[in-house]
Amino acid sequence: MDKIVVEGGVPLRGSVRVSGAKNAALPAIAAALLAEGDHVVRNVPDLADVRTMGRLLAHMGCAVERSADRHTQHVRVPSTVKAEAPYELVKTMRASVVVLGPLLARWGRARVSLPGGCAIGARPIDQHLKGLAALGAEIRLEHGYVEAQVPRGRLRGTTFTFDGQTVTGTENVMMAAALAEGRTILRNCAREPEVTDLAAALRRMGARIEGAGQDEIRVEGVERLRPLDHAVIPDRIEAGTFLLAGALPGCDVTVTGCTPPELEALVEKLRAAGAEVGEVPGGLRVRGPARPRPTDVRTAPHPGFPTDMQAQMMVLLCLADGSSRITETVFENRFMHVQELLRLGADITVEGKTAVVRGVPALSGAPVMASDLRASAALVLAGLAARGTTEVLRVYHLDRGYERIEEKLEPLGARISRVRA
Ligand code: EPU
Task: Tell me the pLDDT tens digit for each residue of 327-386.
Answer: 999 998 899 999 999 999 999 999 999 999 999 999 999 999 988 999 999 999 999 999
27 phi/psi in degrees, rounded to 5 = -70, -30
- Mean pLDDT for 279-301 is 97
Contact assessment for residue 18 and residue 255, using Cβ atoms and an 8 Å cutoff: yes
Q: Residue 94 Cα, ligand 1 centroid: separation in angstroms?
A: 9
- DSSP letters for 196-214: HHHHHHHHHTT-EEE-BTB
So what's the pLDDT on residue 56? Answer: 97
Across the strands, what pairs with 184? 219
pLDDT at residue 216 tops 80? yes
So what's the pLDDT on residue 132? Answer: 98
Across the strands, what pairs with 120? none
pLDDT at residue 186 tops 70? yes
85/109 Cα distance (integer angstroms): 12
Q: Is the CB of 150 under 6 A from ligand 1?
A: no
In one-letter notation, the amino acid at residue 299 is T
DSSP 164: S
Nearest atom in ligand 1 to 332's CA: 15
Q: Is the CB of 195 under 6 A from ligand 1?
A: no
| Cut 0.85: pTM above it | yes
Q: Is the CB of 78 under 6 A from ligand 1?
A: no
Q: Residue 168 Cα, ligand 1 centroid: separation in angstroms?
A: 7
* Helices within 307-404 (DSSP H only): 310-318, 336-343, 373-385, 396-399
Q: Is the CB of 308 under 6 A from ligand 1?
A: yes
